[in-house]
């Protein structure tokens, strides 16, 4: 991917929704491969738990494993781990440790997700409204905007990467 090469992220994150799998089976696959795996405890402070996970593990590849009934595991390894029968993960790139913390907070806590995503939604909503109000009478402008939308999508990912510290791969 072009963006991945240009940005050269420090961390690569995969988020799995393992609705049809047993946690023990998946966690055993990671542990046998040499990954550091820990069950996320919601009883303690979320930010403290995330910082503890980051400090106690190593590797550039981070996994968030979501299971039914609210079970959540965090794993970290020095290479990708994937089985053919697992669902397709959502992939992210994180610039540094702060971006990784922000992404993990967003994925684990609904309250944090709202607080982190609200500013970007407001900014992109304003941009969308400005573009719509300018191009609504110009069909050629709408076509060109749609045509260059792929480039603008990569530009938006780069902007998010440098502002938030992470972006979708």
Distances (CA, A) of 77 to 35, 38, 61, 71, 81: 5, 12, 5, 20, 8
Q: Specify the DSSP class assigned to residue 34.
A: T
Question: Would strands 72-77 and 61-66 be described as parallel, antiparallel, or unpaired?
Answer: antiparallel
The pLDDT, as a whole number, for residue 1 is 55
Three-state DSSP class for residue 153 = helix
Q: Tell me the C-alpha distance between 98 and 60, whole Å.
A: 14
CA 162 to chain centroid:
14
pLDDT by residue for the chain (169 residues), tens only, comes to: 555 666 678 899 999 998 888 888 888 888 888 889 998 877 778 888 888 888 888 889 999 999 988 889 999 998 887 777 888 999 999 988 988 998 898 888 777 777 777 777 787 778 778 777 877 777 777 777 777 777 777 777 877 788 778 888 8
Q: Tell me the C-alpha distance between 140 and 21, whole Å.
A: 49
Contact 106, 50 (CB under 8 A): no
């Amino acid at each position: 991917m072009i963006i991945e090469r240009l940005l050269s992220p420090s961390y690569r994150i995969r988020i799995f929704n393992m609705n049809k799998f047993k946690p023990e089976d998946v966690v055993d696959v990671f542990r046998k491969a040499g990954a550091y795996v820990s069950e996320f405890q919601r009883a303690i402070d979320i930010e403290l738990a995330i910082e503890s996970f980051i400090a106690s593990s190593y590797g550039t590849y981070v996994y968030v494993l979501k299971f039914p009934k609210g079970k959540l595991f965090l794993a970290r390894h020095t290479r990708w781990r994937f089985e053919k029968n697992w669902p397709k993960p959502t992939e992210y790139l994180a610039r540094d440790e702060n971006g990784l913390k922000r992404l993990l907070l967003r994925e684990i806590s609904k309250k944090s997700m709202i607080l982190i995503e609200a500013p970007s939604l407001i900014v992109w909503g304003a941009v969308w409204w400005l573009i719509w109000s300018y191009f609504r009478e110009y069909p050629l402008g709408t076509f060109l905007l749609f045509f260059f939308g792929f480039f603008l999508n990569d530009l938006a990912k780069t902007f998010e990467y440098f502002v938030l510290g992470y972006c979708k791969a």
